[in-house]
Chain A
Amino acid sequence: MATDRVLLVDDEKEFVEVLAERMRSRGLDVTCATSGREAISAVEEETFDAVLLDLAMPDLDGLETLRRLHEIQPELQVMILSGRATVKTAVEAIRRGATDIFEKPTDVETLVERIRSARATRIAHEDDVAEEHIEEILRKRGW
């Protein structure tokens, strides 16, 4: 069974490292990024089942990072990791295509569960796309 791949993005290095360790111990393959730019580079190079994205980051904030991630991969499942201070922005992020909001402090079990269902959603979407593609081929060839 393939491992769920997640990109964890937060400018607090120690937070990212500890949460990543906890998620890895639950069988997830976790890549860490401590800025929006690092996250964008990672998504350009690799495929992830989900991205966990902090909103309040210096340089490139979460909303802008979300926009750029979706430019690269429109179907990417981006989940927001939000402090209470940024709940309003998190709601805006949902309007802009994020799939879920987690308020810090998070329950790691819930996080892992949602990431696993994100993977299932991604695979289902890929199946739909593949099915549409096959139907298109069949239709064009008149089979």
Chain B
Amino acid sequence: MGNDHRRPLQREGVLFFGDVIAGLSHELSNVFNIINEIAGLQQDIVGGAQPESAGVANRLTELAGRIKAQVERGETFNQFLHSLAHSVDDANIAFDLGDTLELAGSLAARPARLARVELVVHRPESPVTLVGDPFALLLTIFGSIEVVLDAADSERRVEVNAAPHGDWARLFITSADPLPPGVVDEVAALEIGRLSWGAAHTLDPPPPEPPRRIILDVPAVAPALKATADDKGQEDPDGN
């Protein structure tokens, strides 16, 4: 039997995790909405206060505004959590690369801030549709960003770009600083990309120049899914 049970267990585990986080994220949204309305009500009440208490009223209005600003900030984080939770829903789905890039960038914003690196993620100029496992691609992109962030000096910039490249999408994770030798060796995220998407990575510029960016090529359709579709085509060439 070996470790055969691990694969369904891991998949179920990820689905469970996504489901629970999505539910909690929804509850958090409800809390934020209530706090936001209470702060709004406070502003309404203070807005009708007598002129002699104007100083206190102004202070309370300002505080209500600050509560609302923090609610907005919290809701932004919560939205990332929600998107992350739903990224595991379906391992065979058409999705926009731009959404996954944006989510990876949002999740990497904190490690970037802690490393005092400016992380800039650019969406492709037009939508790039991919078919496969969005969660596996998210891990691949996030891991690649992390590698480059780790190599970057503080106060520097890391940029992520992507564009269609024939039947593939090409992603660039670029650092202002040279990446150290062996930087991508044994990076689990890149291995996940290779296994789940057939993604290939290269360092640019090639040796002997010190590399400054990872180029990640991702097929528009994950090979396992493409192979399944091709098999079906061979079994039933008339499509009957």
Contact = CB atoms under 8 A, between A and B. Distances in A.
A56 B37 contact: no
B26 A108 contact: no
A25 B46 CA distance: 12
Chain A binding surface, main DSSP class: helix
Contact of B41 (A12, A21, A83, A104): A21
A56 B30 CA distance: 11
Size category of the B interface is 20 to 34
Size category of the A interface is 10 to 19
A28 interface: no
Contacts of A104: 29, 33
A18 B44 CA distance: 11
Contacts of B22: 85
A15 B68 CA distance: 15
B175 to A, nearest CB: 33
B46 to A, nearest CB: 12
Given A22-B40, A105-B72, A14 B34 contact: yes
Given A22-B40, A84-B79, A105-B72, A15 B34 contact: yes
26 contacts: A12-B34, A15-B33, A18-B34, A18-B37, A18-B38, A18-B41, A21-B41, A22-B41, A22-B44, A25-B44, A56-B26, A83-B26, A83-B30, A83-B33, A84-B29, A84-B75, A84-B82, A85-B22, A85-B26, A85-B29, A85-B82, A104-B29, A105-B68, A105-B72, A105-B75, A108-B40
